Amino acid sequence: MKKPSKLNLWIADFLSRIETCYHNEANLPDLAHDEPLDGLILTVLSQHTNDKNRDLAFMRLKGQYSTWEEAAAAGAAAVENAVRPAGLAPTKSKRILEILAVVKKDFGCYSIKSLAGKPRDDVKKYLLSLPGVGEKTASCVLLFDMHASAFPVDTHIARVCQRVGFVDERTPAEEICAILEREVSPERYLGGHVNIIEHGRHVCRARSPLCATCVAAEICGFFDFLNGQR
C-alpha cells in the first residue's frame, strides 16, 4: 500500500477537524437532481452569485416552463427575464439555451441521464465540451448529480486551501482541484467539499477570518503567520 504523503495526512487532519463542526461527512447531503441536466443548469446559474439568487432564478425558470423543451421554445428574451435574479442574465440565458440545443442534438431529448453510467473521465470530457461549462461546473454535476468522483473548487475552497497552506496563493482552481482529487480519499469528496464551503462561509471568511476560534488553527499556516511563528 502506498505510504500517505505529508500533504495527504495534513488535508485528512484538516477535514477531520472541520467535520466535528459541520458533520457533512457523517450526514452526506443529497444534492442530486432526478435529471442531471437540472443540476447543470442550476450550476450555470450559480456563477458569480449567491445560493439565494441562484435558487430564485432556477425556481422562476422551472416555474414558468415545466420542461426544458418549453424553455428552449420560449426563446432568449423570455429565458433571460426568468433568470434575471441570478445576475448576468443575458450571458446565462444564452449559455442555457446553447446547452439545451447541444443536449437535444446529442441525445435526441432534453436529458443527460444516460451519461450517468459512463466512465467518469468521458462524462467530464462531454460536460466540458458544452458551451460555457468549465471545470467547476463539470465537477459539480459529476459530484452532486452523477455520484462520480470529483472535488469542485469554488472561491471558498480555493481561499481555505491557500490559507491553510495546502497550496500557495497563486495556485489556480483547476490545479487545487487536481491536488484535492489526488490527496483526498474519494469517499470524503462530497462531505469534505461541503464542509470546506461551510468553513469558508462561517469561519475562514474572506474578510476577518475567525482564527481565534477555528478548530484547524493548530495546523494552519495562516494562523502561524499571524502569530509570528514563522
Where does this chain bind ligand SF4 (CB under 6 A)?
Answer: 160, 163-164, 203-204, 209-211, 214, 216-217, 220, 222-223
Shortest Cβ 23–ligand SF4 spacing (Å): 18
Sign of CA dihedral 124, 174, 189, 35: negative
Q: How far is the CB of 51 from ligand SF4 (least distance, A)?
A: 21
CA atoms of 121 and 151, how far apart (whole Å): 13
| Closer Cβ to ligand SF4, 42 or 203, answer by number | 203
Q: Minimum distance from CB of 169 to ligand SF4 (Å)?
A: 12
CB of 161 or CB of 190, closer to ligand SF4: 161
Considering beta carbons, is residue 116 or 226 the nearer one to ligand SF4?
A: 226
DSSP 98-160: HHHHHHHHHHSSS--GGGTTS-HHHHHHHHHHSTT--HHHHHHIIIIIS--------HHHHHH
Shortest spacing between CB 161 and ligand SF4, in angstroms? 10
Any residues with CB less than 8 A from the CB of 165 and at least 6 apart, and which? Answer: 220, 221, 222
Closer Cβ to ligand SF4, 59 or 226, answer by number: 226
Q: Which is nearer to ligand SF4, 109 or 215 (CB)?
A: 215
Task: At 71, give phi and psi (nearest 5°).
Answer: -65, -45
Q: Coil, strand, or helix at residue 228? A: coil
Closest distance of CB 229 from ligand SF4, Å: 12
Instruction: Identify which of 118, 72, 75 has the alpha carbon closest to the alpha carbon of residue 99.
Output: 72
50, 41 contact by CB (below 8 A): no
